[in-house]
Amino acid sequence: MKIKKAKGFTLIELIIVLVVIGILAAVVLNSLNGARAKSRDSAVKSQLGEATKEMQLYYANNGDYGPVVYGSSCPTSGSSVFYQSDQLRKMISRTDELNGEEGEVYCAAGGPGSSADTWAMASAIPTEDPYSGPWWCVDGDGSATLVISDQNKNLFAGVAGLFFLKAHAAFEVGPYLGGGDASTYGNDAACY
């Protein structure tokens, strides 16, 4: 009498196939997460590019960018262009949402003059550390670039930012954008 051999896979073969499928799935998911992060980076850059157009429109309608603003988190009230323009305020809010944290968009307007005729905006990039940068920066001169501030190359400032999240002015973290008036800072708002 002949013994019929059962057709099919052994348990070891099935386990090997499942392990291989699991490894392939992990590689694909990791690639997808990287692509999602890069798309958020691109969306931040796109939002700031749109803000450039909105700033040009505001200047054409008003002749300046309103009162001077020292480069820090964008104002959430007041008469600066960054708050007065509904479109710009919405763009700042959307950029904050992309970063996953409010206050990661920095704004500056003005310089040594009495009215703001220069401006700059920068945002943390979602795939980078928001306290040490780099940041994506756009300004009124048409610059669109990554910036790293000298103040943030200081290890102490970076550590202070991590512990205090929004560091005190003595340990300021974020990109240096200038702005303000001649009596305080005296640099035109720009991507430095």
DSSP string, 147-175: E--GGGSSHHHHHHHHHHSS--GGG--S-
Query: How sure is the predictor about 113, in pLDDT bands with cuts at 50, 70 and 90?
Result: low
Query: How sure is the predictor about 188, in pLDDT bands with cuts at 50, 70 and 90?
Result: confident
pLDDT at position 24 over 90? yes
Sheet (strand 105-109) strand order: 69-73, 105-109, 119-129, 133-139, 144-147
Average pLDDT of span 62-86 = 82
Task: Tell me what pLDDT residue 67 has.
Answer: 80
Query: How sure is the predictor about 161, in pLDDT bands with cuts at 50, 70 and 90?
Result: very low
Task: Tell me what pLDDT residue 171 has.
Answer: 39
Residues 172, 151 contacting (CB under 8 angstroms): yes
Task: Tell me what pLDDT residue 167 has.
Answer: 37
CB atoms inside a 10 Å sphere around CB 72: 18
The tokens describing 25, both together, are 């799935």
Task: Tell me what pLDDT residue 74 has.
Answer: 84
Average pLDDT of span 7-27 = 92
Average pLDDT of span 128-157 = 71
Task: Tell me what pLDDT residue 150 has.
Answer: 53
